[in-house]
Amino acid sequence: MNRNDSAGDRVILREDPLAPSATGLAGRLKRLGFCIALAAEEGELCRQLDRGQGPQALLLNTALSAGEIAATLKFAGDAIRKGRVTPLAVGATPGLAAREALARGSLTLAALDPLDDATLRFQVNRAFLTTREAGQARREVRVPWEAPVAFLSEGRERRAALYNFSRHGAFLETVRPVQPGSAVEFSLPLPLGTSRIRGEVVHTNAPGNLRRPRAPVGIGVRFEPLPEADLAELDAAVANRCAALLL
């Protein structure tokens, strides 16, 4: 993907930025490279939806009342059904009434507190991908997981941060990506301990050559075959994380 591919993609944040319950996500999303449009009420939401020329993500603050959530999803319903926008619940864990309103609007994606940058970025990109590809799934499930790591490559240890992983690969955020084809080794932090990973860099997102403008600078790593016990732990971690990202 080049920069022009995402020129029309926008995040519509449905909240009143002056309300006490405002998430403050607009600034974070801009820092992560997203184009933001605020919609404090339904009229502005309609105008923003009409202006969209590319895939859009609609972020709903879960602190909105159940009535406001229902009205928002009703206003956006036609765009959602036509695949022009994908909604995403953000903020605190919703109460029962709000959760029921979200469910009635067929909203399933969530990015709930405590919300780190990796999860926020991943879930918004996931909403864009759902809109762009009409729900087509990747070959395997990948989940966000923010954690510091140090990887060994070409005889040097380099600092990085884990952005996401699956049972067969991971993306490491690092300011100096190594070249595709490089061998890497690192410890993958998991709930029950760490798993020592060896793998190969299969793609990079490097400064001056950003293939994915909304993704971090870093490297995509394909794992070498892992023991069955490690695969089982990876699968369990992915399944648990997936459950936390859905309503």
pLDDT of 42:
85
pLDDT of 137:
43
| Residues lower than pLDDT 70 in the chain | 1-8, 53-54, 131-140
Cα separation, 122 vs 145, whole angstroms: 9
Q: Where are the domains of the chain?
A: 3-132, 143-244
> Which class does domain 3-132 fall in?
alpha beta
pLDDT of 132:
61
Tokens of 6: 């995402």
CATH number, domain 143-244, options 2.40.30.170, 2.40.10.220, 3.40.50.720, 3.40.50.300: 2.40.10.220
**Cα 59-147-217 angle, rounded to 5 deg:** 70
Single out the residue of 54, 145, 67 nearest to residue 100, CA to CA. Answer: 67
| DSSP three-state, residue 31 | helix
| DSSP three-state, residue 108 | coil
pLDDT of 8:
55
Single out the residue of 54, 53, 48, 49 nearest to residue 131, CA to CA. Answer: 54
